[in-house]
């Protein structure tokens, strides 16, 4: 590991653990260096010998082709389109035009570092000196990463500023070149002309001259009422490639002389390869090499299928770990620690005692959720080419270009690792990991000189995931005689995502305290009365856990919103009325709920055997409410009849994309609630493919109607917030239909199945 990198990793710890700014001086990085970082990328003007970067976000080529750099993984969320809209709003271009392209940059600039995700704060939030230091520390590390629904949130201002900066530079260049005063120039897409149309110049013709212009002194950004592109349902910029089958995902990379590899990973968490009996496999048609990767064996061949057949034919023996992981044991340990009040962390208003026993009504419930796999449609894969001179190129559908580069650098004496980020067939947090990149880099090093694509089988993908942790919750409440929530006590048990992720992916120590991911969505719940306590327990386990769409909210949304329903029942009031009475009246939750109740016709008629369930939850700076109607027959077969969502995500950049994310996030959550469960026995994951880890399909998924709250507030995230309300809305609907509380997920554990139309 180079010295430089070890410094940057330590900086990351400060960012990732939010120990804002402490000890930066001790790292030997001067404030002068930090101050010099161009964290918005507005000053990144340069000529690349032909084409010109006007800011870190916009490139103009002499032939007038415009490239917009989006350093976020396009994994379905529409980030290429949404980010392009922010730039285009100020740059004044038509992003759908043939001369505009969006691409993922290969450079890692400080402007591309995802400061918002690592510090969990918006750039627009007021920054004291401590925040100033930590923002720049993350930028210094140039950590390019996608996650936490942060692309728009983190770049809302900087991308519009970039568009305005480039526009002003080009306009000044046009004024000079055409001899026309700047305020008399007319812009049409990528061309400036004189008002009489006699003189004109394209961006491409102006770009070099734009570099010589003084930077604009003050940028006036358009006000919401002036927006022309923000707020429009532009079509996705990637849609045509995707319907043609022409979009290139990681698995579609094809390079001259490239070969393919299949993996057999040690089937037990913590096991290693002891020996490989090749038994003639090497002599098979098309087999090129067999590589021992310590925790996996790779077979390299001229065809993925031949590689897979061959790796399965090997006789591999393993060195087993001292202890075999077991998911049921994790749950049992978490329960025991909660019963013993053996908290890792406990937060409360110490001056206000809980006094549950004094409440007019007390409600208590115990909930349990399973481990979940990401199951992206495109299985894990990466293509790596370790060249003879030790320069390395990597092509990967990765949520972190930077972590992918580090992974390759850690494998061997790599020089100048260049990471090309491809389209991804889903991500959902899985691609924030680096295991797929490490294996590819290792195989490539063994195969020096020849590019190799390592593709995981579905079973390898399912059994070697970094799972959404299974969690438990003991929820207790005290209600007044009028149904007011007076006391709330939440005890949450879950393996810690950060404690698993930081050492595994970034080589850093686990946080000392239970991480916020375990408590998010409940520690700051809008329902919290004056008397509250939120506690957490943790259990160490060899089962790796990671970021799964909406992370802790996926558990805590279920706990809190099912419990709100139980409290309503305890108070003898309608679930919607209970929420409205207990949410702060001016909260986004109350506003979203009111819109939702109206649009879903909450009080409208329902037939026999039918139930209507409700949930509202805020995550990633957006609030989403959901109503779902179900019918349940005598055999506990549940038909998902319809779902209605309401969402307040602040300023809406692209309504149709927000709608798509709400629909997609909700179906993702419903699928998990209906079927999702990963179990680990004797150290091995039981489920292997979609017959054992089922998905909602066209015939079983409900239509999802989405209503958006108009807003001029700062934008919130949209990739994840649609997921948390799904499971509680479903469980509450089943209760409404059957009077049975489903407190354990998936609902199949309580005997419910999903009807296929």
Residue 513 binds another protein, judged by CB under 8 A? no
Query: How many residues touch another protein (CB under 8 A)?
Result: 66
Nearest approach in angstroms of CB 668 to another protein is 6
Residue 694 is given by DSSP the state: -
How far is the C-alpha of 39 from the C-alpha of 53, rounded, in Å? Answer: 16
Measured between alpha carbons, how far is 523 from 413 in angstroms, rounded to an integer? 45
Q: Which of 721, 378, 429, 666 is nearest to 548 (CA)?
A: 429
Integer-rounded Cα radius of gyration of the chain: 27
Alpha helices in 304-415 (DSSP H): 304-313, 327-339, 401-411
Question: Of 389, 448, 703, 751, which one interacts with another protein (CB under 8 A)?
Answer: 703
State the binding string over 455-474 for another protein (x if CB under 8 A, else -).
x-xx----------------
Q: Residue 315 — φ and ψ, nearest 5°?
A: -100, 100
Provide, rounded to whole angstroms, the least separation between the CB of residue 135 and another protein. Answer: 31
Site string for another protein, 386-425 (x = CB under 8 A): -------------------------------------xxx
Task: Name which of 110 and 723 has its Cβ closer to another protein.
Answer: 723
- Give the footprint of another protein on residues 727-756 (CB under 8 A): 756
Least Å distance between CB 421 and another protein? 14
Assess 695 for contact with another protein (CB under 8 A).
Answer: yes
Q: By C-beta, is 571 or 596 nearer to another protein?
A: 596
**Number of Cβ within a 10 Å radius of residue 5:** 15
Of residues 262-291, which lie at the interface with another protein (CB under 8 A)?
A: 285
Q: Is 33 in the site for another protein (CB under 8 A)?
A: no
- 299 within 8 A of 262, measured Cβ to Cβ: yes
Q: How far is CA 469 from CA 36, 208, 551, in A?
A: 41, 53, 9
User: Near another protein by CB under 8 A, which window of 194-202, 238-246, 441-449, 606-614?
Assistant: 238-246
Residue 42 CB contacts under 8 Å (≥ 6 apart), including other chains? 55, 56, 158, 161, 162, 165, 215
Candidates 55-63, 120-128, 301-309, 622-630: pick the segment binding another protein (CB under 8 A).
301-309
| Binding test (CB under 8 A) with another protein, winner from 32, 128, 245, 280 | 245
Is the omega angle on the peptide bond into residue 746 within 30 degrees of 0, that is, cis? yes
Q: Smallest gap, in angstroms, from Cβ of residue 241 to another protein?
A: 8
Between CA 58 and CA 81 the distance in angstroms is: 14
Residue 660 contacts another protein per CB under 8 A: yes
| Window 317-356: residues binding another protein (CB under 8 A) | none
How many CB atoms neighbour CB 348 within 10 A? 14
Q: Which is nearer to another protein, 285 or 336 (CB)?
A: 285
Q: Which listed range, 318-326, 630-638, 664-672, 679-687, lies at the site for another protein (CB under 8 A)?
A: 664-672
Q: Which of 252, 433, 589, 677 binds another protein (CB under 8 A)?
A: 252
Helices (H), 546-690: 552-571, 575-582, 588-599, 655-675
**Nearest residue to 318 (alpha-carbon basis) of 346, 276, 285:** 276
Are 93 and 64 contacting, i.e. CB atoms less than 8 angstroms apart?
no
- Minimum distance of another protein from residue 433's CB (angstroms): 17
Query: Toward another protein, which CB reaches closer, 176 or 248?
Result: 248
Instruction: Give pairs for 525-530: CB < 8 Å, separation 24+.
Output: 525/488, 525/560, 526/583, 526/584, 526/587, 526/589, 526/618, 527/485, 527/488, 527/560, 527/564, 527/582, 527/583, 528/488, 529/484, 529/485, 529/486, 529/487, 529/488, 530/349, 530/352, 530/486
**Binding residue for another protein, selected from 183, 196, 698, 710, defined by CB under 8 A:** 698
Q: Applying CB under 8 A, does 97 fall inside the site for another protein?
A: no
State the minimum distance, in angstroms, from the CB of residue 283 to another protein: 15
Interacting residue ranges for another protein, rule: CB under 8 A: 75-78, 235-236, 238-249, 251-252, 254, 260, 285, 302-306, 308, 375-379, 423-428, 455, 457-458, 656, 660-661, 663-668, 671, 689-691, 695-699, 701, 703-704, 756-757
């Amino acid at each position: 590991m180079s010295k430089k990198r070890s410094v940057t990793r330590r900086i990351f710890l400060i960012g990732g653990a939010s120990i804002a700014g402490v000890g930066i001086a001790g790292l030997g990085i001067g404030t002068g260096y930090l101050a010099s970082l161009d964290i918005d990328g507005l000053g990144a003007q340069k000529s690349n010998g032909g084409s010109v970067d006007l800011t870190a976000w916009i490139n103009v080529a002499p032939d007038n082709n415009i490239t917009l750099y989006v350093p976020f993984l396009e994994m379905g969320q529409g980030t290429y389109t949404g980010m392009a809209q922010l730039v285009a709003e100020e740059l004044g271009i038509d992003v759908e035009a043939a001369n505009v392209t969006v691409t993922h940059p290969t450079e890692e600039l400080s402007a591309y570092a995802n400061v918002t995700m690592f510090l969990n704060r918006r750039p627009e939030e007021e920054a004291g000196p401590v925040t100033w230091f930590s923002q720049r520390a993350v930028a210094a590390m140039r950590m390019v990463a996608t996650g936490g629904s942060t692309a728009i949130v983190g770049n809302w201002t900087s991308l519009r500023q970039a568009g305005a900066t480039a526009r002003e530079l080009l306009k000044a260049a046009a004024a000079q070149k055409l001899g026309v005063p700047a305020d008399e120039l007319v812009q049409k897409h990528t061309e400036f002309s004189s008002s009489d149309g006699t003189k004109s110049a394209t961006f491409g013709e102006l770009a070099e001259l734009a570099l010589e212009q003084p930077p604009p002194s003050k940028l006036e950004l358009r006000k919401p009422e002036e927006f022309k592109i923000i707020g429009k349902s532009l079509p996705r910029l990637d849609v045509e490639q995707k319907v043609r089958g022409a979009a290139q995902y990681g698995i579609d990379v094809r390079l001259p002389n490239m070969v393919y590899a299949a993996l057999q990973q040690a089937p037990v968490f913590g096991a290693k390869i002891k020996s490989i009996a090749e038994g003639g496999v090497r002599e098979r048609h098309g087999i090129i090499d067999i590589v021992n990767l310590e925790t996996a064996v790779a077979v390299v061949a001229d065809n993925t299928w031949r590689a897979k057949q061959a790796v399965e034919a090997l006789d591999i023996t393993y060195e087993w770990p001292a202890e075999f992981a077991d998911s049921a044991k994790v749950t049992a340990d978490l329960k025991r620690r909660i019963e013993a009040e053996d908290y890792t962390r406990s937060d409360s208003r110490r001056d206000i005692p809980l006094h549950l026993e004094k409440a007019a009504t007390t409600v208590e419930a115990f909930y349990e959720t399973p481990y979940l796999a990401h199951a992206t449609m495109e299985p894990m894969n990466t293509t790596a080419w370790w060249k003879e001179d030790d320069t390395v190129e990597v092509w990967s559908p990765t949520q972190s270009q930077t972590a992918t580069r580090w992974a390759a650098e850690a494998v061997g004496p790599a020089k100048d690792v260049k990471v090309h980020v491809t389209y991804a067939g889903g991500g959902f947090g899985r691609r924030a990991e680096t295991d797929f990149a490490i294996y590819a880099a290792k195989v490539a090093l063994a195969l020096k000189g020849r590019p190799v694509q390592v593709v995981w089988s579905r079973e390898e993908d399912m059994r070697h995931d970094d799972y959404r942790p299974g969690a438990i919750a003991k929820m207790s409440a005290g209600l007044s005689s009028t149904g007011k929530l007076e006391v709330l006590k939440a005890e949450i048990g879950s393996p810690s995502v950060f404690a698993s992720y930081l050492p595994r992916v970034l080589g850093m120590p686990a946080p000392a305290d239970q991480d916020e991911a375990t408590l998010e969505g409940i520690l700051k719940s809008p329902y919290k009365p004056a008397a509250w306590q939120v506690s957490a327990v943790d259990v160490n386990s060899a089962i790796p856990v990671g970021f799964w769409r909406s992370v802790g909210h996926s558990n805590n949304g279920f706990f809190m919103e099912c419990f709100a329903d139980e409290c309503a029942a305890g108070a003898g009031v309608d679930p919607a009325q209970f929420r409205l009475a207990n949410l702060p009246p001016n909260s986004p939750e109350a506003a979203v709920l009111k819109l939702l109740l109206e649009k879903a016709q909450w009080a409208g008629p329902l037939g026999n055997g039918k139930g209507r369930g409700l949930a509202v939850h805020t995550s990633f700076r957006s609030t989403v409410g959901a109503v779902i109607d179900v019918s349940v027959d005598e055999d506990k077969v549940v038909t998902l009849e319809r779902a209605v969502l309401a969402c307040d995500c602040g300023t809406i950049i692209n309504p149709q994309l927000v709608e798509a994310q709400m629909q997609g996030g909700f179906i993702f959550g419903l699928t998990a609630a209906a079927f999702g469960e990963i179990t680990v026995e004797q150290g091995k994951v039981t489920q292997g493919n979609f017959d054992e880890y089922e998905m909602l399909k066209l015939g079983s998924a409900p239509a999802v109607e989405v209503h958006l709250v108009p807003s001029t507030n700062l934008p919130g995230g949209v990739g994840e917030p649609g997921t948390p309300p799904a499971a509680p809305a479903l469980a509450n609907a089943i209760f409404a239909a059957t009077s049975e509380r489903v407190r354990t997920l998936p609902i199949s554990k309580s005997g419910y199945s999903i009807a296929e139309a």
